[in-house]
């Protein structure tokens, strides 16, 4: 089964042709009938965790005002308002339903730090309302939503930046520039990894919805399920219904760096192996997963170890590239270059904050330029996560058609290209 958005129509709507993309860039700074002034007004959706970091970053940048804190958890709204008030004189308004903020013509952009199943639908709604979008990784819950996000950004001429912040970190940019300039010779293979020491989530029970939570709106576009006491606020990551596993949660960052460094876009074949090995509980996604990506002339491997904290590189996160003349190891914000015998010959680093990425987003709203992690770029990296998960869930190698970049030869795998939605919640732009 394939998405009803035909490939040719997707290309047309997405503005993939250079002329269309150029026209979008030159016009993307428009906000309705007016251009945004020096001040950019934001609404933040999701302030229980990652959203608080984004609030701290945006409020530290001159010319930004956060007008709304939006969350389905009244406690999170209070936390978001408190975080904003630390650096902003004007107190933001708290909203349970972010859609009310989209109705405000003074709002320029929506910042999305909600669960994965909300990333695509909220982005599409915001673009249709004339708002620019900064959306946390992964770009979407499934490939179909990613296609719609690109199409919505193009149709409504909005700036949409994915929160893969290494695209804007000086140390990582320097690393990729050196890699592509031939610092270790021709590169044909890369490895990405993430390690942690996560514990069990136990067996959840169906219990009454807490008074502080608007659970129906938390579910939003996802088909309704009873409230369980071990899902919200973080463990939804490990359920296919709402999350994308460790691959979408943290793998996206390292895979994005690898795809960028290798200069590749769509793989030919994807395989995945692993399982939930460490605990007998409700966790559905793998806690141990190895995914291989074949791009024809280059290869990429991702290793995810949610419950094994140690890696051979002695760091929980990273990406390494292997060339004819040596190797490069990229960490959270810097890199090391090794010669053919493993001796370090140079290194580089830079600040590891989100600030450059957030500034890039704001600058592009004002200038109309394309951001460093523009949604089409972000979707291609996110698609690697989805393909790895589809291969994992089906237990088979996933092959992509070289022309359409869609899954071919496997109806069960192709059926996972999209999801089912609650009645009336299917994304439209």
DSSP string, 69-107: EE-SBHHHHHHHHHHHHTT-SSPPEEES-THHHHT-TT-
pLDDT digits (tens, 9 = 90+) for 230-269: 999 999 999 999 999 999 999 999 999 999 999 999 999 9
Same domain assignment for residues 123 and 174: no
Residue 382 lies inside a defined structural domain of this protein: no
Rounded Cα gap, residues 374 and 311, in angstroms: 31
pTM equals 0.92
Residue-averaged pLDDT of the chain: 92
Q: Which residues are CB-neighbours of 25 under 8 A, at least 6 positions away?
A: 368, 369, 370
Residue 222 lies inside a defined structural domain of this protein: no
DSSP string, 319-340: EEEEETTEEEEE-SS-EEEE-T
pLDDT digits (tens, 9 = 90+) for 118-142: 999 999 999 999 999 999 999 999 9
CB 329 within 8 A of CB 318: yes
The CATH number of the domain holding residue 39 is 3.40.50.720
pLDDT of residue 1: 34
Q: Which residues are CB-neighbours of 159 under 8 A, at least 6 positions away?
A: 28, 29, 109, 132, 133, 153, 361, 364, 365, 370, 371, 374
Please give the angle made by the CA atoms of 261, 320 and 147, to the nearest 5 degrees: 45
Q: Is the predicted pLDDT of residue 101 greater than 60, yes or no?
A: yes
Residue 423 lies inside a defined structural domain of this protein: no
Same domain assignment for residues 105 and 187: no
Same domain assignment for residues 124 and 255: no
Task: Provide the pLDDT confidence category of residue 18 given band limits of 50, 70 and 90.
Answer: very low
Residue 376 lies inside a defined structural domain of this protein: no
pLDDT digits (tens, 9 = 90+) for 298-348: 999 999 999 999 988 888 999 999 999 999 999 999 999 999 999 999 999
Rounded Cα gap, residues 361 and 357, in angstroms: 6
Same domain assignment for residues 107 and 180: no
Q: Is the predicted pLDDT of residue 19 greater than 80, yes or no?
A: no
Residue 285 lies inside a defined structural domain of this protein: yes
Residues in the chain: 429
For the chain, the straight-line distance linking the first and the last C-alpha, in angstroms and rounded, comes to 22
Closest CA to 284 of 234, 240, 227: 240
Rounded Cα gap, residues 76 and 210, in angstroms: 13
Mean pLDDT of 24-50: 69
Diameter over CA atoms, the chain: 61
Instruction: Assign 3-state DSSP to the chain and report helix, strand, coil percentages, each to 5.
Output: 35, 20, 45
Same domain assignment for residues 114 and 255: no
Same domain assignment for residues 122 and 83: yes
CB 329 within 8 A of CB 347: no
Q: Is the predicted pLDDT of residue 3 greater than 80, yes or no?
A: no
pLDDT of residue 37: 59
Closest CA to 112 of 310, 375, 305: 375
CB 337 within 8 A of CB 174: no
Give the C-alpha distances (Å, rounded to integers) separating 43 from 242, 254, 336, 378: 23, 28, 39, 21
Rounded Cα gap, residues 384 and 151, in angstroms: 19
The CATH number of the domain holding residue 336 is 3.30.360.10
DSSP string, 356-425: HHHHHHHHHHHH-PPPTTBHHHHHHHHHHHHHHHHHHHHTS-EEE-TTT-SEES-HHHHGGGS----TT-
Range of the domain at 105: 7-167+356-371+410-417
Rounded Cα gap, residues 426 and 144, in angstroms: 11
Rounded Cα gap, residues 328 and 332, in angstroms: 13
Alpha helices in 181-234 (DSSP H): 215-219
pLDDT digits (tens, 9 = 90+) for 157-184: 999 999 999 999 999 999 999 999 999 9
């Amino acid at each position: 089964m394939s998405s009803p958005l035909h490939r040719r129509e997707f290309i047309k709507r997405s503005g993939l042709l250079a002329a269309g993309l150029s026209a979008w860039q030159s016009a993307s700074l428009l906000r309705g009938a007016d251009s945004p002034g020096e001040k950019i007004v934001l609404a933040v959706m999701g302030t229980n965790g990652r959203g608080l970091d984004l609030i701290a970053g945006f409020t530290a940048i001159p010319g930004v005002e956060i007008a709304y804190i939006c969350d389905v958890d009244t406690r999170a709204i209070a936390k978001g308002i408190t975080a904003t008030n630390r650096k902003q004189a004007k107190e933001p308004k708290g909203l349970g339903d972010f859609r009310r903020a989209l109705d405000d013509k003074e709002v320029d952009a929506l910042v999305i730090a909600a669960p994965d199943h909300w990333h695509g639908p909220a982005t599409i709604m915001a673009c249709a309302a004339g708002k620019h979008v900064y959306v946390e990784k992964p770009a979407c819950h499934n490939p179909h939503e990613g296609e719609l996000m690109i199409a919505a950004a193009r149709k409504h001429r909005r700036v949409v930046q994915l929160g893969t912040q290494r695209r804007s970190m000086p140390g990582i940019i320097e690393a990729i520039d050196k890699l592509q300039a031939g610092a270790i010779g021709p590169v044909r293979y890369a490895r990405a990894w993430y390690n942690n020491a996560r514990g069990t989530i136990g067996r959840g029970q169906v219990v009454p919805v807490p008074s502080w939570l608007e659970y129906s709106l938390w579910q939003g576009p996802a088909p309704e399920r009873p409230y369980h006491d071990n899902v919200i606020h973080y463990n939804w990551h490990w359920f296919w219904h709402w999350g994308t596993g460790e691959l979408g949660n943290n793998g996206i960052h390292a895979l994005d760096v690898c795809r960028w460094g290798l200069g590749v876009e769509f793989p030919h074949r994807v395989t995945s192996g692993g399982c939930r090995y460490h605990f007998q509980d409700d966790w559905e996604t793998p806690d141990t997963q190895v995914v291989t990506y074949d791009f024809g002339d280059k290869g990429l491997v991702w290793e995810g170890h949610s419950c094994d904290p140690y890696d051979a590189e002695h760091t929980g996160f990273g990406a390494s590239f292997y060339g004819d003349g040596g190797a490069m190891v990229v960490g959270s914000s810097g890199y090391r270059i090794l010669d053919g015998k493993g001796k370090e010959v140079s290194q580089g680093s830079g600040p590891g904050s989100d600030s450059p990425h957030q500034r890039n987003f704001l600058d592009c709203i004002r200038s109309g330029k394309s951001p460093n992690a523009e949604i089409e770029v972000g979707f291609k990296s996110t698609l690697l996560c989805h393909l790895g998960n589809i291969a994992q869930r089906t237990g088979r190698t996933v092959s992509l058609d070289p022309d359409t970049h869609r899954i071919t030869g496997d109806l069960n795998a192709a059926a996972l290209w999209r999801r089912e939605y609650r009645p009336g919640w299917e994304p439209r732009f």
